[in-house]
Structure 1
Amino acid sequence: MVTLSSPIPFSAFPLDRAGARRRDQDFIFDLLRLRDTDLVLIQDGKPVLKVGGQPSAPRKLLRLAAASRAGFLQEHNDTLIFMGQNTHGRATFAASLPSSFDWDDGPLQGLGEIEDMRMAAGVMDVGDLAIAGTAKSILDWHSRHRFCANCGVPSQVAEAGWKRHCTNCDSEHFPRTDPVAIMLAVHGNRCLLGRGPGFRAGYVSALAGFIEPGETIEEGCARELHEEAGVTMTHARIVANQPWPFPSQLMIGLIASVKNLELTIDLHEISEAIWFTREEARALLSEGGCRRDGVTLRAPPPLAIAHHLIQHWIHEG
């Protein structure tokens, strides 16, 4: 796999997850009693950011003392997620707050503000963004998996938030990550980009699809390219990957060589697909965009792995 020059947003998780210690309740309780253990918050899937700081500096997560959480948190949410420890052993936990929690009134007034996760990705510290994305994914999973999938009885949070346990049938349930192949199809000096029916007007991106059971990453890539655009893959290589917390996916970025330029579009999946030269792809990444048939088109911003796939392919040429 190619190493990119800068971290892709939501990657570069900065903490030791200490997975082997999650089931050690004494260890977790001891961390929660320490004065320097941090608590970060997610509200409605959005990170709570610290108010203030230098305007030009990256935004940081609001970090509260986990030991004092009883004063405001436990009445709203009793699910704490152990995120891990930094190199000095300082621990971070995460929790969610309900929509009704008011940041303009109460003990936290003036300390924090919520920000849309996608918008935050452009201004946040990369390590804090990775923590926020991971916390959002895990907390989303808990909110959608409160009942045992085996017997239907409410399940319990276990292993510091990284498992749910059913006390009725003894089933264990773990957070899932859905793998997605996102691929830049290339043919000579051209790359293929498209847009889905609900895609933002004026933007094109790499084609993508979920890996199905029993498929390798490359097989999923080939299938999606053929299904969506009618092109036949000859070779693919993985370039990069990105955790994508909407709600919990792993975007596996590939550059895929194909043997035909002729397109057969599946209009249920994508509304259009266009071949771009390297020069046009470079324009897509620029502020001014690329003019095609009287329309200005742009590629996704650096938030998305598709941006980095296009950039990498341009530099290869």
Structure 2
Amino acid sequence: MLRTIAAVLVEDFTPFELGVVCEVFGVDRTGEGGPAFDFRVCGECPGEPLHCEQGFAVVPTVGLTGLVDADLVIVPAAAVRGDYSPAVLDALRAASNRGTTLLSVCSGAYLLGAAGLLDDRRCTTHWRYIDDFQRRFPRADLDPDVLFVDDGSIVTSAGTAAGIDACLHLVRREIGSTAANLIARRMVVAPHREGGQRQFIDQPVPTTTDTGLQPVLDGILDDLTVEHTVAELARRANMSTRTLLRHFTAETGTTPHRWLTLQRIRHAQHLLEATALDVEQIARATGLGTGPLLRHHFRRIVGVTPKEYRATFTLRTPNP
């Protein structure tokens, strides 16, 4: 059961990831039927400010002793360093030895790795850190693609929004779907995305070349209902199909088919939010053709059904 939540803050923390943790566990929603959390932000030296590169500071009011009775200890993202405070690492090890659940958000996994807690454990982190993380923690069983990994007492998540997914997953796992859905609705986020869903960018996207494909991409977006073949895209770009595929992957990080499907799903999300069109109409308007095909791709990419997405994100009566 999750009752006491301790977030461990270190110097050069990342404010968005801290904000995610605060939003999920630090907002009192008991008046709406939400779970009651005892949430605390802890630091090695309580009362002393910890800074972020955005130019402001946060002052933790609780020391590392705040981890002792915590049911969940969270390590938000922070700047990647060569080493970390021995006191913080010792506190994380002690929490793990007590059986406390640990959650890292994005680069927070580095602190768990430095504490030796990810040795022979499944884990993940943001895709941009994958190579460096594997070099520094070769014993960690790193999955570079997924949004988050639940390895029982340790949950690790990828960047930014994946931290929301991991937090809501833990609420669902420990308290139930009703509590998780209530928090998600208040935050106006998707109530559930499977941890095994791939990170939004599969691989780091290289610098765009001088033979940019933006005019071709713009042409695709002008009419998503058209079946854009690789041969047709190559003709527009004045390239061979092989060259087109190479440049397309370099500039978008994925294949033409997957990129087109993603754009269609993005457009479907907009139509679900802003219109009263049914699923079959949206399928035709996005070029996906049929409702079942739209549902298949939508759930695979977004993590929920179109109906669930509309229920979560439609805040007022949509336009016809």
TM-score (normalised: structure 2): 0.28
Q: Which structure: greater strand fraction?
A: 1
Q: Which has the higher contact order (CA 8 A, sep 6+)?
A: 1
Q: Which structure: greater helix fraction?
A: 2
